[in-house]
Amino acid sequence: MGISFQVLQRLSKFKIIIIYFLLSVIFTYPLILKLSTHIPGKGEIDPYIFFWNTWNFKTALLKHPHNPLIAPYLMYPFQPSLVFHTYTIVRDIVVSFFSYLIPPVLAFNLLTLLMFTFSGYGAYLLTLRLVKNKYVALVSGIIFSFCPFKLARLGGHYNFIDSAFIPFYVYFTYDLFNKINIKKAILAGLCLALIGYCSYYYLVYSFIWTGLFFIFCLIGENNSFGKKTTFLNKLFNNVKIFLKKRIFINFLILTLVFLIVFSPILLNVFRFNKEYVPSSYPKLKNYPSVIDLIKPSGVSTINKYIFKQGFKLARTVSVGVVVWLLIFISLFRPQKDRNYYFWLAIGVIFTILSLGPYLKLDNNELFPLPFYLLRYVPFLKIAVQPGRFIIYAMLSFGIISALSLEYILNKNKFKNNRKIIFLAVIMALIFIEYMTIPISLHSMKPSEYVEKIAQDQERCTVLEIPFRIAGKHRILGKGFKCLGPPQYFQSLHNKLLLSGTLSYIPQKIIDYYKQIDFIYNLCQLQDKNINKKKKKEILLKSPTLDLDKFFELYNIKYIVIHKKELDDYSLNLIKEYLLRGISKLTLLQENKQIILFLRHKNPKSFFFDKNLLSPNYKMCLTEGWSKYFGRLSSRIVVAQKASVVFPAEKGKKFYLLINYELSNGINDLHMKIIVNNYLVNEIRHISSKKYFSRKIEIPARLILTGPNILEFRFNKLNSSIKGIKFTSLRILID
């Protein structure tokens, strides 16, 4: 207690950062003891998927260069877009580069601690704009950075932990209405883009905050609150100042910087929006009630050991009794400037939005709330989970709590030591309410079978059973959650996967795999809701002639069966199905968790010099093709891109032989032929000729061992492209 309060007031910025880092270590305990072996997480999928994100980004930039906004190793051969996936790009970039210096798991965990640290430090700096006392500003940073909403997301939603750029964006934006400040406008635009690269939800909330701040600045100058002037006069005068001082230049610069830095996402959002995002969302059932704002969160230590109530992540919007009490005390401050009313309004608005479409008292819906209208606003409608709005409310409540604490200290004129004791008690009470010690951790130790697959340097594919392709609203292979660890294991063995889990996937991927007999039958056999008798009938009726053909096409070398996910009867049927249909299959490993099979290549070629448009090879056609037309070997192109998959061996030269015809009225058509994302040939039709036959060489340098992707891309010139009919498509080996 011998430390003077004046000394605490003069804490350097570096010491403040150290304090927040130490608090991050305490709030995330016991993570500090297992930084290199575990990551925070409670679910079976999310923690592993976020770690997989970092591997995919690192692979795209540093190992096998490709567009980092696609997943070429997942759900092969579709290369799904990651634009609508929970892709924490800031985290992925940092972990990717630092993983060359330290283990990836260690880099991942250190960044988590730093995100908590700088979230608090940013809120601290922002609060210092409104208070003089550095120590009460420290409390504000604690309320924002370690709020129950964020601590609950340690269960695996790292995009919501990465909130460090929010207070810095607000900090730089705050001065843009005073005078032209190009430096802060650039920094604000950069922070806004980085917010978007951390979380689309936080970006939407930042847009809403910016709109409210804009209104706040236009309805009166900082010192005009309380003057007897009409609202319209205030608005008119401030618009004149806004234009006369050319303050709008600040916001033009902010917008321009944001658009430039965030353009890779924006361009792809408009391109893939209709394909990936559903036109409607299911009705919200589980959203917060008023009581959830007051009671401890479900993951808090108090709830675990004292209240023992159930935990629902979507309803985690707890503010805390201490913070509510400080907000209430702030209402009695005699000097309330416009900044106080602004942050109070921000807190109220975002709290109301976090309560969802209806005000609920426990589970009883009372009356509708403004959140319901957001679903009709373009772009804002992606904010489908109302509880996540609480993040900006916590930033606001942290600032208001600091103002309230400063008022209490000034009014009571505590001596230095008593000030320390009082603030220490407040911080301790907040810590007790918020803490979630010990947090859940996931081991990142790979299974033994992963090491065996990783030793194989050949480019091949791994089939994980149960088979599951999942997005938020589209799933093939329901009822299983084993895709988290295997998707993380892909970052260790670097092999292709047919399955996978992303936030959003297009319906065409589900449709493609459903029409493949083997995948359809496999999903039936693994389904827990289908009775034994029906499964036996499915097995007896399932053709096995195409199994070798399918496995050869996708170069599936390893088959991993997760025994714990299947009942014994389904497990035995799947084993029988595989052993009966695949000619050369060797058991490599079997234990209580998994069965690992190795498939040997069949020297017989199923695909060369065959018409891949025929029904026997429907698994080769992935997208852009119609159903059969006329003769069973003819297909019509129904999109501007049509894709084909064919197997090959690296180093050999192949030829593509195609026959196609154009419908009447198509006189000007541009067709690009692309293999594995490399342009092979361009053909432009400008004559009135209808029937064409082409033989095109595919250079050996473009061919990969295993599945190869052949694409036909068409540019719409003078007419619709839906009149192109392919009658033959063959791959010939030199």
- Taking only the tens place, the pLDDT of each residue in 308-349 is 676 677 788 899 999 999 999 999 888 778 889 999 999 999
| pLDDT beyond 60 at 39 | yes
Among 84-98, 230-244, 290-304, 355-369, the minimum mean pLDDT is found in 230-244
Cα 356 from Cα 253, distance rounded (Å): 34
The pLDDT value recorded for residue 545 is 61
Cα 710 from Cα 553, distance rounded (Å): 13
Q: What is the residue extent of each domain of the chain?
A: 5-33+41-279+287-434, 448-599, 615-733
Cβ atoms 291, 362 nearer than 8 A: yes
- The residues with which 684 forms a beta bridge, in sequence order, are 670
- Mean pLDDT of all residues in the chain? 84
The pLDDT value recorded for residue 1 is 41
Q: Name the band, by pLDDT with cuts 50, 70 and 90, for residue 380.
A: low
Tokens of 363: 């589970």
Share of the chain above pLDDT 70, in %: 86
| pLDDT beyond 70 at 278 | no
For residue 324, report the phi and psi dihedrals to the nearest 5 degrees.
Answer: -60, -40
3-class secondary structure, 699:
coil
Mean pLDDT over 238-244 rounds to 65
The pLDDT value recorded for residue 180 is 81
The pLDDT value recorded for residue 608 is 79
Question: Averaging pLDDT over each range in 1-15, 17-31, 243-257, 367-381, which range is the top one?
Answer: 17-31
- Top-confidence residue, 113 or 551: 113
| pLDDT beyond 60 at 4 | no
Among 118-132, 300-314, 460-474, the minimum mean pLDDT is found in 300-314
| pLDDT beyond 60 at 354 | yes
CA-based nearest residue to 438, from 151, 224, 172, 662: 151
Cβ atoms 494, 55 nearer than 8 A: no
Cα 585 from Cα 597, distance rounded (Å): 6
Cα 560 from Cα 567, distance rounded (Å): 16
Q: Is the peptide bond before 30 cis (omega within 30 degrees of 0)?
A: yes
| pLDDT beyond 90 at 401 | yes
The pLDDT value recorded for residue 192 is 96
The pLDDT value recorded for residue 105 is 93
Give the tens place of pLDDT for each residue, 430-446.
Answer: 999 999 989 989 888 88
Pairing of strands 469-470, 500-501: parallel
For residue 45, report the phi and psi dihedrals to the nearest 5 degrees.
Answer: -120, -55
Q: Which amino acid is at 471?
A: G
CA-based nearest residue to 559, from 519, 597, 521: 597
Q: Name the band, by pLDDT with cuts 50, 70 and 90, for residue 687.
A: low
For residue 459, report the phi and psi dihedrals to the nearest 5 degrees.
Answer: -75, 115
Q: Within 10 A of 429 (CB to CB), how many other CB atoms are there?
A: 15
pTM: 0.88
For residue 42, report the phi and psi dihedrals to the nearest 5 degrees.
Answer: -125, -30
Q: Which residues of 80-118 are buried (b: 16+ CB within 10 A; e: fewer)?
A: bbbbbbbbbbbbbbbbbebbeeeebbbbbbebbbbbbbb
Cα 335 from Cα 514, distance rounded (Å): 67
The pLDDT value recorded for residue 122 is 95
Let me know if domain 615-733 sits in CATH 3.40.1190.20. Answer: no
CA-based nearest residue to 561, from 600, 597, 510: 597
Residue 59 burial (CB < 10 Å; 0-12/13-18/19+)? buried
Q: Name the band, by pLDDT with cuts 50, 70 and 90, for residue 383.
A: low
Mean pLDDT over 678-692 rounds to 79
The pLDDT value recorded for residue 226 is 39
Beta strands in 381-449 (DSSP E): 441-443
Q: Name the band, by pLDDT with cuts 50, 70 and 90, for residue 162.
A: very high
| pLDDT beyond 50 at 719 | no
Q: Percentages helix, strand, coil for the chain, rounded to the nearest 5?
A: 50, 15, 35
| pLDDT beyond 70 at 231 | no
Cα 85 from Cα 63, distance rounded (Å): 22
| pLDDT beyond 60 at 653 | yes
Tokens of 218: 């236009």
The pLDDT value recorded for residue 720 is 46
Cα 555 from Cα 593, distance rounded (Å): 25
